[in-house]
Amino acid sequence: MNVVGDATKTDIDSCFVQAWALNQQSAVFAAIPYAAADQSVATACVAALDAGGVVDARISSGIVVEGADLTVRFLEQAMEYFQKALYSYYGQYLLARRGYATWARVTNYYASFFSIHSLLCLQGRTVTRLRRGNGSELQCYVIPHDLAAHRYIVCSRGARGRDHAVAWNRYYEIYDRYTSPRAEYELVHKIAHVTDPKDESNYRNEINYVPFGGFKEFNDADARTALLEAYRGAVESKPPGIGVDECVATLHALGTDPAFHYFARVALRLLLASEIMKAFVGVNAAFALEWNARAPIWREFGASAFNDPPANFIETLPTLLT
């Protein structure tokens, strides 16, 4: 990856909220020489900026960088965030089934937060911190100036703020313009379906940080029972072994259930991310090898949280995702 030069305001304005369609994503990610390297987008950007002698002040206005290797890092990072989201989703399931209502919801929130980062990376975007060799630390946007040409803009202006709030706002700004492979997925990325882009983050803050806002189940057996019954009713509303079409339709219906809607949202985002990445599996042989190597691990790890064989439709999720 190389530094091309300084970005103009017109450059940034032209691509700041652009959403790339699935066929465009597939065409771009089909052509990259995918190879896992456990390297983040931020690390790759810092290396290029430091090598190019770019000072922090220039990053504020925006720096154009170019290279297919950065596109590879975006796809690898999307996989990493997807895996973190899936791990957290398994965790919330274990907690919820035991009545640990607050921590199940907090853990579910992190599954949701990781899933939106995965989806942003699949658009060639991220909100990240650049920790530079000069000791500075900058919160930045990395945005695709031209995804097909592997040309990106690294910009710190406007990226300051609470990490979670910035990420949620960016997610809805981009995916509100995205056409999903299934209409049901719009529930979890179109702004019309939420009262506030940060509603999930706000809810997490309320139950986790506000005094007396959460953890009531610790001293209240009725609170534990209420979650258990509501959660069990939702996950057992369909039997195991249903196909992906019925699973998506069921989750879409549960996405407005007051007791289960946040849990359903995460599952839908996981399915959306996996459907996008599975489109890349069909066109990029190197990425297909990586995906097919990880899929059995994800299913095996899920067996530690779910029954084997699955006891309800949610426990079928690892198979549907992979």
Mean pLDDT of the 85-99 span: 95
For residue 128, give the 3-state DSSP assignment: strand
**Looking at residue 259, what DSSP letter applies?**
T
* Higher pLDDT pick, 244 / 322: 244
Residue 210 makes CB contacts below 8 A (sequence gap 6+) with none
H/E element, 156:
none
- pLDDT at position 82 is 98
User: How much is the pTM?
Assistant: 0.96
- pLDDT at position 135 is 87
Q: Tell whether the torsion through CA atoms of 304, 307, 308 and 312 is positive or negative.
A: negative
Taking all residues of the chain, what is their mean pLDDT, rounded to a whole number? 94
Both tokens of residue 214? 């959460």
d(CA 189, CA 179): 10
pLDDT tens-place string over residues 198-252:
999 999 999 999 999 999 999 998 888 988 899 999 999 999 999 999 999 999 9
Residue 35: which pLDDT band, with cuts at 50, 70 and 90? very high
pLDDT tens-place string over residues 58-72:
999 999 999 999 999
H helices of 97-185, in order, are 101-121, 163-175
Q: Where are the chain's structural domains?
A: 2-321
